A and B are shown apart, each in its own frame.
Chain A
Amino acid sequence: MRVARYELNRAITRPVYIFSTIVVMLFSCIFFLTLFKTGAPEKMPIAIVDLDQSSISRRVAHELNATQSVTITNVYSSYQEARIAMQQGKIYAFLLIPSHFYSDLAAFKRPTLTFYVNNAYTVGASTSYKQLLMVMNLASGAFQREVLRKKGLPEHLLMKRIQPVAIDAHLIGNPMSNYSVYLLGVILPGMLGVIVLMITIYSIGGELKWKTSHEWLKQAEGNYVVAMIGKMLPHTALYCMMGITVNIIMFRILEFPVNGSFLYLNLGLITYIFAIQSIAVTFIGLVPVLRDALSIGALYGMLSFSLSGFTFPYMGMLTWMKPLCYLFPLRHYYLIYVNEALLGGPIIQSAPFVGMLLSFCVLQFLVGHRLHNALIYQNYPRD
């Protein structure tokens, strides 16, 4: 208890602690929660290249402007202009209407429309691509409906005629394909993880750097385990509180879907925090030099986002890289999240991942002796 008080005292007197835990986390939360304000991209700027100069381009533009996801910002008269606009990042896609388009259409000559999408920006591109595809199919359907109607087919049969097959898509766990649901459930705990990692390394490494470790050990009457627990306790409590608050904001207030158990998700988060703290202790134990341990932590922390596989999936990675993914607690938390929040599988599905997280917690005992000695003898370079 005395150690905890000592640690709290340290934390309050150093602005770094407060800044990089509370301020940074708060800022990240506000940033990410407000960044994707619309859920799905809206009104992506696209253009039309009209080589036909007929009324059809105005009609197409009108159709496209009526949709949620794209908006026509420009009508160009040559391909060149549109290409330059795209290279300048002004538009994500453009639709090329060939010359004689209208007359060919009227003569059933099937003129081809071409759309160009800028795949260097995938989100903007895929949104506009999907919308253009839909409008194209609708346009074909509308044309067919006109012809059939003229032939005297009854109205109620028309639509069924035109669309003999349809797919009803059910997007499990994220029915609106909301971008923030994709990312935030994992990114915010990921951010928290990086903060936990760096601050834990900093708080132990700082004792070594400023040679205050004797004072710290004295608080615990020389007992390494007590010293460690006392030091971690206030931090752990704070992190767990922040993590659960973030989860409550996301899943309760903003009503991101939870198909499984919210309780288990939070328990998973707590084990995740324990695991990260243990890894931080392991790093500083292996390399009891504050600066180097922080560098390793930074490298590891940044990689965790890419290697956890929530953006680019695990199955797409190189074979020899796959085992590396399991070295990151964020990967296991992500799998727990998928199970609990998205799929709503039974708890037994999350168990192996929780087990893996717990096994990370064992790591810190392996370096306990080494770190204890470092704290006593302070025999490592300080900078």
Chain B
Amino acid sequence: MKRKRLAAYIRTRLADTWKVFVLEIRRVLRDSGVFLIFFVAGLGYPILYNLIYLNNTIKEVPVAVVDMSCSSESREFIYRWDASQEVEVRYSCTSMEEAEQLLKKQLIHGILYIPSDYAAILNTGLETAHLSLYCDMSSFLYMKNVYMSANMVMLDKMNNIQVDRYEKMNVNHEMSWALVQSVPYEAVALYNPTGGYGTFLIPGILMLILHQTLFLGIAMLCGTAREENKEIFILPGRRRRYSIFRLLIGRALAYFTFYFAIAAFDLILIPRLFDLPHVGRNVDILVFVVPFLLSTIFFSLLCGSFQKERETGMVTGLFSSLIFMFISGLSWPRENMSFIWQILGDLLPSTWGIHGYIHINTMGATLLTTIKEYNMLWLLTGFYFVLCVIVYTIRARKYDTEVQEQDARLIAYFLSKRDHLRQISHELIEKEKQRIRNYREKHRVLHP
């Protein structure tokens, strides 16, 4: 007997959840705005961003040199610098003013000034020859290219000069190098060997796109439901009794179904299509994305429950993309953020999602190595689920009392007007009777 009741209990719960699930899926597909955000933006943005950053690095940044030395040494330096792939010496100016004009016209992004005594100092070997480098700071990448390439040429040149000098002092070649560069080094740039900007940014952007499209789409759905007075806090087809768990789980599953497919496309197919690093295991990525999507869904359901209009989420929520991007620590390292921003970042699914995905996809970590991010996402899922339950329960209660009050008001209204109503209905009936009587009489007259 007891078991039977339990089975029935479970069956109704499952049936309700299923009902909510189907209803939500239908709502997503029917709502053109949400469809646009979920499918067009969710699938199109990754492609668009990849196209923007397709070149990945910048090469041959135009620069100018002001060679006052006009010596073979200075010319050699310029040749070497020009030969590096980072910069291209496009102009050779005779004065600093001329070069500055070019810089101000934004035709070049760096100037190298070689003073007139450059060769003389090098040849006497008693002093340090100074070169002046002017970098355009309008973009980090210009500055990096100009600065790094000039320094590399300089270091190389410096070592060669020193070795030459030692050899002139009758130190053998091996020994000279041992003196000049006692500790040779090798730098290995892991996971992004060319230092590409897209390779660095896009994996994070992919996760952020999933996060933000879900966020804005769910906000829009919540707003629409509120606007159309279809209450989102009760089960469909029921007037009062609420059942928050079935509702939340059913809806979350509906979004999850769509997004699992979208995530698979964005996170697994896109890196392959655009030759981004993809050294992680696909299974790991798919398993990792489960708590990411769930925590994002509950986070969005929570935020969405506060808005009353369909469009407000779009207007107020759009700016969050940039904030979420920076707070995740993808560009500016989290170690250097103040405590408050670190905490706030910890509370966002996007932070953990971005890092976890980069670790697995770009850096080839296994799920076991990213266990911290993975667990944090489950924790956030639980956290936002509980908050959702609380907020939705409060809302549903409020709605419930509202409905009760409404009903009571309606009943009271009818009761108070009972006599009046009776009278009206009586009058109406009498009128109708009279009409029928008249009609009959008329007909009797016409057709006796």
Contact = CB atoms under 8 A, between A and B. Distances in A.
Interface of A: 16, 19-20, 24, 27-28, 31-32, 34-38, 41-45, 84, 86-89, 92, 105, 108-126, 129, 132-133, 136-137, 139-140, 143-144, 147, 157, 159-174, 177, 179, 181-182, 187, 191, 194-195, 198-199, 202, 205, 209, 290-292, 294-295, 298-299, 301-303, 305-307, 309-313, 315-318, 321, 335, 338-339, 342-346, 349, 383
21 contacts: A24-B319, A28-B319, A35-B326, A113-B185, A117-B188, A120-B191, A120-B192, A121-B200, A121-B333, A122-B200, A126-B195, A160-B126, A165-B122, A165-B129, A166-B154, A167-B150, A198-B315, A198-B318, A311-B139, A316-B197, A383-B224
Q: Which 9 A-B pairs have the closest CB atoms?
A: A345-B104, A119-B192, A87-B365, A316-B58, A174-B137, A143-B182, A108-B178, A338-B138, A120-B191
B117 to A, nearest CB: 13
Nearest to A109: B178
A121 B190 CA distance: 10
A35 B341 contact: yes
Contacts of B189: 117, 119, 125, 129
Task: Determine the main DSSP class of A at the interface with B.
Answer: helix
B157 interface: yes
A318 B55 contact: yes
B310 interface: yes
A169 B422 CA distance: 96
Given A120-B358, A383-B310, A306 B338 contact: no
Contacts of A205: 311
B33 A291 contact: yes
A312 B341 contact: no
A294 B191 CA distance: 38
Contacts of A303: 48
Contacts of A139: 182-183
Interface stretch (B141-149, B242-250, B259-267, B396-404): B141-149
B128 A88 contact: no
Nearest to B369: A87
A294 B190 contact: no
A194 B322 CA distance: 11
B126 A345 contact: no
Contact of B197 (A35, A122, A168, A182): A122
B333 A34 contact: no
Given A111-B183, A120-B192, A195-B319, A41 B338 contact: no
A90 to B, nearest CB: 10
A20 B122 contact: no
Contacts, number: 321
Interface in B140-182: 140-144, 147, 150-151, 154-155, 157-158, 161-162, 165, 174-175, 177-182
A144 B182 contact: yes
B137 A291 contact: no
A35 B329 CA distance: 10
Interface in B60-85: 61
A365 to B, nearest CB: 25
A169 B363 contact: no
Given A86-B363, A182-B137, A306-B49, A315 B191 contact: no
A147 B187 CA distance: 26
Interface string B40-56: 01000000110111111
B391 interface: no
B336 interface: yes
Contact of B184 (A110, A321, A345): A110
B132 interface: yes
A294 B310 CA distance: 11
B279 to A, nearest CB: 10
Nearest to A309: B139
B130 A122 contact: no
A118 B363 contact: yes
A145 B210 CA distance: 56
Contacts of B174: 108
Contact of B105 (A129, A166, A349): A349
Contact of B333 (A44, A191, A195, A291): A44
Given A31-B341, A110-B183, A202-B315, A163 B336 contact: no
A114 to B, nearest CB: 5
B315 to A, nearest CB: 5
A312 B53 contact: yes
A109 B175 CA distance: 9
From B137, B326, B331, B333, name the one whose CB has the most chain A CB atoms within 10 angstroms. B137
Contact of A38 (B54, B184, B191, B336): B336
Contact of A110 (B161, B178, B195, B326): B178
Contacts of A92: 333
Given A122-B192, A165-B154, 20 more contacts: A37-B338, A42-B336, A43-B335, A45-B335, A87-B359, A88-B365, A110-B182, A115-B187, A116-B190, A119-B189, A125-B189, A144-B182, A159-B128, A163-B128, A165-B161, A195-B319, A290-B311, A316-B57, A338-B106, A339-B106
Given A28-B319, A119-B190, A310-B139, A41 B333 contact: yes
B310 A121 contact: no
B324 to A, nearest CB: 11
B229 interface: no
A182 B174 CA distance: 45
B322 A187 contact: yes
Given A34-B338, A294-B311, A165 B131 contact: yes
Contact of A179 (B187, B332, B359): B332
B183 A306 contact: no
Contacts of A24: 316, 319
B332 A191 contact: no
A298 B37 CA distance: 10
B226 interface: no
B350 to A, nearest CB: 15
A171 B364 CA distance: 37
Contacts of B130: 166-168
Contacts of A42: 336
Contacts of B127: 160
B333 A32 contact: no
A340 B129 CA distance: 33
Contacts of A116: 188, 190
B108 to A, nearest CB: 11
Nearest to A181: B137
A28 B326 CA distance: 11
Contacts of A137: 155
Contact of A19 (B147, B155, B316): B316
Contact of B309 (A16, A157, A301): A16
Contacts of B237: none
B183 A140 contact: yes
Contacts of B129: 164-166
B133 interface: yes
Contacts of B179: 108, 143-144, 147
B386 interface: no
Contact of B177 (A27, A110, A345): A110
